[in-house]
Structure formats: structure tokens, C-alpha cells
């Protein structure tokens, strides 16, 4: 089986890495729309058009299911894509539901792109599950740019995040929810700023588990004796150079740490 993943950039690679552990025999096609990263500062119409282009490309390469490995694209385009294409389209959402289940009354910080923070989808999710009104939302747009350059734990990253969080009382928080697939790469910095007891959550594993339920419900049987292959594309151009492939492998490994 061929499964397509797309994101504005490298963030979605964290889902590819986890999916490989769950579906070792599947073939994956990963589309990073690096010509147009970031998505989070674009309009809904622009994001939908770019997402449609990515989905169409993945289907042309034989994808039988697609994972929107991008919170911003899910918010903007998932209903449109599901209506247009007759294959499973699996979106991602910030892990707010598991966060609000953390015992106690401390607050929960959801960080995301500017588009995701202002979009109705996230607000509807919070309104639905945040019974005790513990959730705060904050845009952190520069993190995508840092991630795209593989800059995850530098002094510049820490200075940027400390500035973003300067108005917060860090001791009031029990969890940071990553509302963008790029953001899990900054887990160590979140722990430095908020302390070692902060929970850092994202929706990647839940999304992959949802993918598995969908395809197994349609009769797909995992064959653990076979190994699938993964092909990578940048806005439709196949990645073949060794340096970029090694960078992508590093990103997948970093997300799993």
C-alpha cells in the first residue's frame, strides 16, 4: 500500500517516522512544500490551493490514503480535500484532549502558527473539551523557520521562545501542546524554559493511529516480514541528493528522541 504525507516543510517527517514503526511494509511518499513554507501566515484560500496541489501530486504517485501532516493545512483544507478525493484523508489536530486530562488545575499552553490560532477549528476543539477553561493559545510563527534550517536548540531559538513566553507565569502550566508538526523538535527548549515536569504533547501519534484504524478497517493487513520504502519530494521534485536525504533522516530521528 502507498500512503502519502504532506506538510509545508519538514514538520510532517515526525509522522513518517512513527508511521514506519506501525506500518513497516507500506510505501510512503512525503511531500514537503518547501517552495511555499510557511503555510501559517497565508490565507485560507492560498493554503487550500497548495494543499490541493500536494494531494493531487501524491495521488498521481499512487497514494491510496493521504495524511495531512500539518495542522494549518488540516484547519484550512481537510473538508475540501475529503469532498474532492475518494480516498481516506487523515488530518491532524493539536493534542488538547489528552492535555486537559492531566490531573490538577494548572494551565495548558497551545502554541501554533498564526493561522491555526485564529482558525475556528482550534477554537471549536478547545470549547468542546476544555471544560475547566485551562487552555491558553499563543502563536509562535518563527519556530517553523528555525525548524526548516534544522536549528532546534540554539541560543537564538531559546531567546525567541523566552520572549514569546515572557508574559506567562511558567509555574502555572502543566503542559505545552504543539499545534504545529514542526514544534515537537523544540521539546528540549520547552523543558528548559518551563522545567522538567512540563508535559510536551503533539498530535502526531494520534494521527498515525487514526490512519492505521482507517486502512485496517478497509481490510489492510500489516506484513511485518516486509519493508516498505519512502520517497521524498520538495514541492513535486524528487529528493535524490545525499545531503538532503541525510538531513531528513536526522529530522525523523530527532523527533523520536
**Which residue ranges make up each domain of the chain?**
2-92+204-256, 96-202
Number of Cβ atoms within 10 Å of the Cβ of 218: 11
What pLDDT score was predicted for residue 224? 78
**Peptide bond before residue 38 is cis, with ω within 30 degrees of 0:** yes
Tell which CATH classification among 3.30.70.120, 3.40.50.1860, 3.60.150.10, 3.40.47.10 matches the domain 96-202.
Answer: 3.40.50.1860
SS3 238: strand
Task: State yes or no: is 70 an active-site residue.
Answer: yes
Per-residue pLDDT of the chain (257 residues; tens, 9 = 90+): 999 999 999 999 999 999 999 999 999 999 999 999 999 999 999 999 999 999 999 999 999 999 999 999 999 999 999 999 999 999 999 999 999 999 999 999 999 999 999 999 999 999 999 999 999 999 999 999 999 999 999 999 999 999 999 999 999 999 999 999 999 999 999 999 999 999 999 999 999 999 999 998 878 888 877 899 999 999 999 999 999 999 999 999 999 88
Per DSSP, what are the bridge partners of residue 240? Answer: none
What pLDDT score was predicted for residue 257? 84
Question: Where do runs of H (alpha helix) occur along the chain?
Answer: 13-22, 44-60, 71-84, 96-100, 114-118, 120-129, 142-148, 155-164, 187-194, 204-217, 242-256
What cell numbers appear for 166 in the block? Answer: 515572557
CB 83 within 8 A of CB 109: no
Which among 70, 164, 174, 212 is annotated as catalytic?
70
Which among 164, 178, 180, 212 is annotated as catalytic?
180
The reply to whether 96-202 shares the fold of 2-92+204-256 is: yes
Sheet holding 173-178, edge to edge: 135-139, 107-112, 173-178, 199-202
CB 87 within 8 A of CB 59: yes
What pLDDT score was predicted for residue 102? 97
2-92+204-256: CATH topology is Rossmann fold (3.40.50)
CB 11 within 8 A of CB 147: yes
Task: State yes or no: is 178 an active-site residue.
Answer: no
Amino acid at each position: 500500500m502507498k500512503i502519502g504525507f504532506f506538510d509545508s516543510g519538514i514538520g510532517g517527517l515526525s509522522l513518517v517516522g512513527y508511521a514506519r514503526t506501525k506500518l513497516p511494509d507500506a510505501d510512503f511518499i512525503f511531500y514537503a512544500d518547501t517552495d511555499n513554507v510557511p503555510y501559517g501566515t497565508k490565507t485560507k484560500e492560498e493554503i487550500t490551493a497548495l494543499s490541493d496541489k500536494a494531494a493531487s501530486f501524491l495521488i498521481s504517485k499512487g497514494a491510496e490514503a493521504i495524511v495531512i501532516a500539518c495542522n494549518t493545512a488540516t484547519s484550512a483544507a481537510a473538508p475540501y480535500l475529503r469532498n474532492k478525493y475518494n480516498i481516506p484523508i487523515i488530518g491532524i489536530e493539536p493534542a488538547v484532549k489528552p492535555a486537559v486530562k492531566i490531573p490538577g488545575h494548572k494551565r495548558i499552553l497551545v502554541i501554533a502558527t498564526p493561522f491555526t490560532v485564529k482558525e475556528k477549528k482550534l477554537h471549536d476543539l478547545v470549547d468542546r473539551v476544555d471544560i475547566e477553561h485551562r487552555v491558553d493559545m499563543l502563536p509562535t510563527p518563527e519556530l517553523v523557520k528555525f525548524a526548516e534550517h534544522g536549528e532546534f536548540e540554539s541560543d537564538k531559538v531559546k531567546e525567541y521562545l523566552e520572549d514569546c513566553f515572557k508574559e506567562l507565569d511558567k509555574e502555572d502550566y502543566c503542559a505545552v501542546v504543539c499545534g504545529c508538526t514542526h514544534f515537537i523538535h523544540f521539546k528540549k527548549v520547552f523543558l528548559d524554559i518551563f522545567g522538567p515536569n512540563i508535559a510536551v504533547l503533539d498530535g502526531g501519534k494520534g494521527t498515525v493511529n487514526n490512519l492505521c484504524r482507517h486502512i485496517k478497517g478497509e481490510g489492510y493487513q500489516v506484513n511485518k516480514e516486509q519493508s516498505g520504502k519512502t520517497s521524498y519530494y520538495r514541492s513535486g521534485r524528487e529528493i535524490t541528493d545525499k545531503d538532503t536525504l541525510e538531513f531528513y533522516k536526522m529530522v525523523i530521528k530527532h523527533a523520536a528522541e
